[in-house]
Structure formats: C-alpha cells, structure tokens
Structure 1
Amino acid sequence: MNEYIYTFFRTIAAFAMLLIIARILGKQMLSNMTFHDFVTGITLGSMAANLAFNVKIQSAHFFISLAVITAISFGISVLSLQSRKARKWITSSPTILIEGGKILEQNMKKIKCSLDALNQSLREKDIFDIEEVEYAVMEDNGKLSVLKKPQYRNVTLEDLHRSAKSTKNFPIELIMDGQLIKENLTQHEVSQRWLETELDKRKKRIDDVFYAVKSTSGKLILDFYDDGLKRPIDQEN
C-alpha cells in the first residue's frame, strides 16, 4: 500500500513540476513548437513520466535533472532573444517553397518536404489548385503559410480603392532587434541609404528600431523600442 501512496504523490509532484516549468519557459513553447521546443518538450515529458512511475530511481535525481533541463532551455530562450544569429541556428528559419507561383524544388529537398505533403498542407487551407498560390512558406514550427495571388484573395475595403494593376511582393525584413539585416538589403536590392533617409524623416536611428519590414505593398513598416504608450495593456497584471 505504501508503494501505491508513494507513486500517487510522485505523480502529483511530476504534474506540478511540469506546470511550473511551463510557466517559467513561457507561452512561446506552447504556441510555436520549434526544434528547441520539441526537444525540450520530449525530454521533460519523459523525465516527468519516470518521476511518476519509476519508483526505483530516487526523486531527488529527477528534480535535479528537471532543474538542469529547465535552466538550459531557459538560457537558450534568452540567448535566442538577444542574438538573431543564435536564434536562426537554434530554431532554424522559414523556407520558401513556392515563389511567384513556382515550386522551388531545391528548397523542398533541403527540408525533406514531398509534393504530397505540400499539397496536403495547401488543401488544409482550402487550396486545391496550386495556381492560386503566390507564395508558400514553411515556418519554423512546420506549418505552412500561404499568400494567394490577388485574383484569388478575399476582397477588402483597401482592395476596392487600390488600382487593379497594383501587385504585392514578399515582405522583406530590414531590421530586427535593432540590427540591420544586410543580406536582405543586398539580396532584394534595397538601398541602406533609402532606409536611413526614411528613419531620418522620423528622427530615428537604426538602433531605435525594434523591427522594420518592407511590406507586401512596398510600404516601410517600423516598430520602435519606444512605442510612446503611456499605459501599455498587460492583461496578466
């Protein structure tokens, strides 16, 4: 009977530890299962299961292991926030599978994605004809994001006032975490002087920008570290 009671309390402890660890690691782990999140989740789940049922191993050893794994995962998350290069290596980066309506076979080979898998993902988005697709991107979490060609998109109020000849291009990230992404500037022939001029108009520098992207319509979208909000909303407080 004592063994059953012991297992009962170990199971409760394992469940409680997972809840605490999930809170420490944050919502990112729940929303986007990247490589790092996948490995962390599998490891923690396996360790928690052993804590609950494997009475031959001391509980203290499990708690130490859980603490170490949590610290490593938390450290990696912090490093990913501070360094774009580290984030790119840890979580990989999105892969374009369709550009301008054309399938990029080499990119599909890189991520080992078959045509059957691509077509299935498109059908899940109610796209049964690949001709409708302008861009398709495989995200870090394995989900497919799709931008349809203009004639197949739902009409918005902006569309009614836009010229029928206007086109949309793939968005280009120019600044991330206050750092200029020079490879994107070079690859897409975006002038750094043009970007700096746009920032000068707003009396800002590159260091002031948290995120800058040239949108699908060619418009420069900027988000600064200082948002100028006196009382930003935080629903958890």
Structure 2
Amino acid sequence: MLFDSWDSIGRMVVFGIAAYAGAIAMLRISGSRTLSKMNAFDLVVTIAFGSTLSAILIDGSLSLATGIGALALLIVLQFVVAALAVRSGRFRNWITTQPVLLAWGGHVLDDAMRQQRVAIEDIEAALRQRGFARLDQVMAVVLEADGSLSVVESAGTDGAARLSGMQVPPQ
C-alpha cells in the first residue's frame, strides 16, 4: 500500500513530535549515564527505546499515553538498574562485563585476546591513537567494559593505580 490516508500521516506527525519531545525530556531527566558509552545492558535499553519510539510513530492502535508510558518505563528501569549496580558489586558484576587486561609489559596476552575476540590490529590502532608506535612503549592495554581499549602508559604509581582490581601477570 502506497498511501493509507491523510489521517494516518497527520497522526504520525503529531505523535512523532510529541513522542520525540517526551523522549528528549526523559533522557534529560535520566542523566548522562543513559547517553554515555554503553555496556551490554545500556545497548539493550537503547534498542528497546528506539523500537518503542518507532511503535509510537507507526502503530495506529497504540495511544500516545501508552507509548510515552512505555518510554518512561524503560528510563525508570535503566535508572533502577544503574542505581542497583552502584550499590551492589554482585549486581554490577551480573549485568556488566569487567575490564580485561589484553597486553602487559610489551606483550599481548594471547589467551585474553582470543577469549575477548580482539585482534592485534585493534591494539595497534589504540596505540597509534595515543601516539605510540610499539607495544613495548606502554605498560598495559585494557579492554574496558564498554568495549573501548585503554592504553596505560607507565608502570609508576599512577599507571599501577589505573589497573587496581585487575589480574596483572607476574613480571
């Protein structure tokens, strides 16, 4: 069907503007964490948020109040899960991944690289972005919970502090 009716197009425009405004308002209320680099949980919420917004725009049987309510529910759930993760280490470990050491002392940790499915080219790109030509110029490379790669430059107290809580291989 190429064209249904002007009513359905008008509904989509009005609901789209209202749902968009509601989504922006809820994202502002929910705080920066909702829009920060995402872990797996955040990605699921984002996809569900987009799917719900799409349903509001397209599904003629869905009321605006129901759609906005669904968006609000997702934001509330995201807020509750984030709050629980801050308060409970066990809960945080259940919903998020932990950082993984991929390279240490100039050498890649092959088992960690294989397990995390990270290629040496990814580490080399992270090194270049930080201005290093070789792996032996840095203390460590870490795969962060959000999927980004961190390069820890020196073995001094500042560098070691950045690795607190991680399993570091013996020297």
Is 1:46 the counterpart of 2:51? The answer is yes
Is 1:89 the counterpart of 2:79? The answer is no
Is 1:56 the counterpart of 2:46? The answer is no
Number of matched residues? Answer: 159
- Checking the alignment, whether the CA contact within 8 Å between 1:98 and 1:133 is kept in structure 2 is no
* Percent of residue pairs identical: 26
Is 1:24 the counterpart of 2:54? The answer is no
Paired position in structure 1 for 2:160: 170
In structure 2, the gaps of 5 or more residues are 1-5
- Checking the alignment, whether the CA contact within 8 Å between 1:14 and 1:49 is kept in structure 2 is no
Which structure 2 residues correspond to residues 77-156 of structure 1 after superposition, within 5 A?
77-149=82-154
* Residue type at the aligned position of 1:102: H
- Checking the alignment, whether the CA contact within 8 Å between 1:135 and 1:170 is kept in structure 2 is no
Aligned Cα root-mean-square deviation (Å): 2.3
* Residue type at the aligned position of 2:24: L
SS of 1:170's partner is helix
Which has the higher relative contact order, 1 or 2, with Cα contacts under 8 A spaced 6 or more apart?
A: 2
SS of 1:113's partner is coil
SS of 2:18's partner is helix
Q: CA deviation at 1:149?
A: 4.2
- Checking the alignment, whether the CA contact within 8 Å between 2:99 and 2:142 is kept in structure 1 is yes
- Checking the alignment, whether the CA contact within 8 Å between 1:40 and 1:69 is kept in structure 2 is yes
Paired position in structure 1 for 2:13: 8
Q: CA deviation at 1:35?
A: 1.4
Q: Which has the larger radius of gyration?
A: 1
Q: TM-score, normalised by structure 2?
A: 0.80
Q: CA deviation at 1:61?
A: 4.0
Q: TM-score, normalised by structure 1?
A: 0.60
Q: Deviations over 1:135-160 (max 9, x none)?
A: 1111111111112247xxxxxxxxxx
Q: CA deviation at 1:127?
A: 2.3
In structure 1, the gaps of 5 or more residues are 151-166, 174-183, 189-237
* Residue type at the aligned position of 1:58: L
